[in-house]
Amino acid sequence: MKQYVIVGSSAAGIAAAETIRKTDKASKIVMLSDEDYFSYCRCLISYYLAGEINEEGISYREQNFFKDNNIELLLNKKVTRVDPKKNKITCQDKTQVGYDALLIATGAHPKFPEISGIKKKSVFGFRTIKDAKDIAGLLPVTKTACILGGGLIGLKAAYALRKRNIEVKVIIKSGQVLSQMLSPEAAHLVQQKLEQNGIELILGQDVAEVIGDGAELKAVKLESGKAIGCSLVVVGKGVEPNIDLIKDTEIKVNEGIVSNDLLQTTVPNIYVAGDACESFDITLGQAAVNALWPIAVEQGKIAGANMAAGNIRYEGSLGINSIDFFGLPVVSLGIYRINAQGAKNIEELKTSNAKENIYKRLLLKDNLLIGAILAGDIKTSGIFLRVIREKINVSPFKDKLLSPNFGYPDIMDFVKDKERIYV
């Protein structure tokens, strides 16, 4: 029998454990997490903070899941070292666990800007349920909150706090919201919706300092010199993979931990999945980290199958972002900037209806769909995802792509596997 060790108990780790158990009922699975909480959906913490769902509502699996699947779950165990030569891991508390096959599903952590005062009290990332609970605990004494960053994390935090009647100011270095996933036109629709719901956006500015008395937060100071009084700051400046545990090993790292198409690292019995994984990106044509929940699930399933002696090839990932702000749904798939490809033969298809808050933009290269942005009307997002992933030549139905009636019947003659459903 083997001993499988999984570091991380979120999307990728759980998916891997479930997949291992489908083929290997007897071997031991040990799962470690550096958090107090077992298996919750990080995607939902903004709705938890907003008061729209309770703690039970963000649970990803029931507590008896681990017993039912014969998984030894170790909470509050931060893995600090992987020793590939001795096939063991070491935790911060000196606990050591041996393995025959190891999965690194450690996720990512928030990026904090290197500015004065950023470590004051009441300055938070927004990544874990603990972050959400700690922020919620300050709301009774909070009038104004400042959000640093206009990406998904920052805007989800802003949405949640506004739902709790907090005055929210979002400070964004670039000239638009969601600059890493939307075109300026789509971003403008989101900006309007946020402002209509009482969220103030400060564009083209960045925070130079967090100020206060000692450790206490009083305000943030912008690069312009203007100070904004607040008693709560949430940092939404993106995330970085948790990869310190493999430092000084032979495991190769670029932006994330490098994987092959079996999701193995450069050490064959060590696998990686989720936000720490750098894998092939279908639309970019090169390796990238796509830190997204559905990708983590898919990678976890494939890594788990291969840990249990499978031989499943991972086709690759692509950027997928989906959010709904105050009733305005937005989806971004694949490449969103024309210059991201560095090529001239890219075709752009667009349609918009400002009155109904609808915007659609598609990017094609050699009649292959490589990117899509949808706002207001997102019902075709799943179809576009399939067209991208299967590299379907759109020539036969190009004139229908932006039609309100475009649907699966238009592509079914061209799909590779009619039974397959992409996540």
Structure tokens at 330: 């937005």
Q: Is the pLDDT of residue 343 over 60?
A: no
- Residue 423 has a pLDDT of 46
Q: Predicted confidence band at 417 (pLDDT cuts at 50, 70, 90)?
A: low
Render pLDDT for 78-98 as a digit per residue (tens, 0 to 9).
999 999 999 999 999 999 999
Render pLDDT for 358-402 as a digit per residue (tens, 0 to 9).
999 999 999 999 999 999 999 999 999 999 999 999 999 999 999
Q: Is the pLDDT of residue 419 over 70?
A: no
Placement of tokens 């969220």 in the chain: 199
Neighbours of 267 (CB within 10 A): 17
- Residue 415 has a pLDDT of 83
**Distance between CA atoms of residues 335 and 341, nearest Å:** 8
DSSP state letters, 116-134: BTTTSTTEE-SSSHHHHHH
Q: Predicted confidence band at 338 (pLDDT cuts at 50, 70, 90)?
A: confident
Q: How many CA atoms lie within 13 A of 34 on its CB side?
A: 17
- Residue 233 has a pLDDT of 98
Q: Predicted confidence band at 62 (pLDDT cuts at 50, 70, 90)?
A: confident
pTM value > 0.85:
yes
Query: Residue 316: what residue type?
Result: G
Render pLDDT for 250-287 as a digit per residue (tens, 0 to 9).
999 999 999 999 999 999 999 999 999 999 999 999 99
Render pLDDT for 277-331 as a digit per residue (tens, 0 to 9).
999 999 999 999 999 999 999 999 999 999 999 999 999 999 999 999 999 999 9
